[in-house]
Amino acid sequence: MAKKPATIQGEKRVKTILTVVFAVVAVVYLLPIFLVLMNSFKANAYVNTETFAMPNEESFVGFDNYVKGMTFGNYPFAKSVGYSLFITIVSSALILVCTSMAAWYIARVGSTFSKIVYYLCVFSMVVPFQMVMFTLPKTADTLHLNTPWTIPIIYLGFGAGLAVFMFSGFVKSIPLSIEEAAAIDGCGPIKTFFNVVLPMMKPTMISVGVLEIMWVWNDYLLPYLVLDRKKYMTIPIHIQYLKGSYGSVDMGATMALILLSIAPVIVFYLTCQKYIIKGVAAGAVKG
């Protein structure tokens, strides 16, 4: 049955209103990024006095802020980039592998122990980080988890809750007959997981990976509490220490480094955003 003209006009009006509303929301979200980009090309004196003005002949300094930010102080910015890359890649990989295997076990075994583990992981999602941040530095020092090579273990603990929740929901939607067929063909549990189950987890794997990478890359507080800041600095910590004499902050160089730090994450997110909704729907709705 064909829709009435009044109904069609009403739907078009609603779509137009929603388009305008979401366009305004998009501008609000993009405005801070635009301000950072604009001020990264201004001299430091003009960043504070003419924050919302476009660069002009007097305030424009080209890429001087970028050069100054990357060469400021005795700690090279490239070293901070290296530590951030290593921590992000290793932490995300560790979370993906360990939590996907744990979720498969939880979903397939269904014992009391597995249910307790699952609910503990879900409960960890609602526990504020501030509840454990005061004891975390001492715990990390005692267990020797206070270096870039061992901090991924801490990230595994904090990132396991969401990952296990999403992976468990997706595993429940996988037909058990597929795994039974693999077992008949002689596959053990490890081979069944990596050859059969893991390839089927691809949508959720990508979705969880994107979320974890963005979290670890942008995280400031956890490395600040755990790492020795004289030896190891991630990008967020490096930006915080862009201070000159008497505590003065070079805002131009700070804006430049902030833009350099968020640009890879923005590009990565835009490239993989189509997988996020697909993975969330596959992992959190089913089961």
CATH code of the domain containing 118: 1.10.3720.10
Same domain, 109 and 90: yes
Name the pTM for this structure.
0.84
Same domain, 15 and 59: yes
Q: How far apart are CA 276 and CA 252, in angstroms?
A: 34
Structure tokens at 225: 């509490």
Domain end among 19, 49, 65:
65
Same domain, 34 and 153: no
Same domain, 80 and 151: yes
> Letter for the amino acid at 47?
V
Q: Cα–Cα distances in Å, from 158 out to 63, 154, 286?
A: 38, 7, 24
Same domain, 26 and 86: no
Number of domains in the chain: 2
Same domain, 94 and 27: no
pLDDT per position as a tens digit, 63-96: 888 888 888 777 888 899 999 999 999 999 999 9
Higher-pLDDT residue of 213, 229: 213
Range of the domain at 19: 5-65
pLDDT class for 150, splitting at 50, 70, 90? Answer: very high
Structure tokens at 22: 């979401």
Same domain, 271 and 186: yes
Same domain, 122 and 33: no
Domain end among 50, 65, 80:
65
pLDDT class for 6, splitting at 50, 70, 90? Answer: low
Q: What percent of the chain has pLDDT over 70?
A: 92
pLDDT per position as a tens digit, 236-248: 988 887 765 456 6
SS3 category, 51: coil
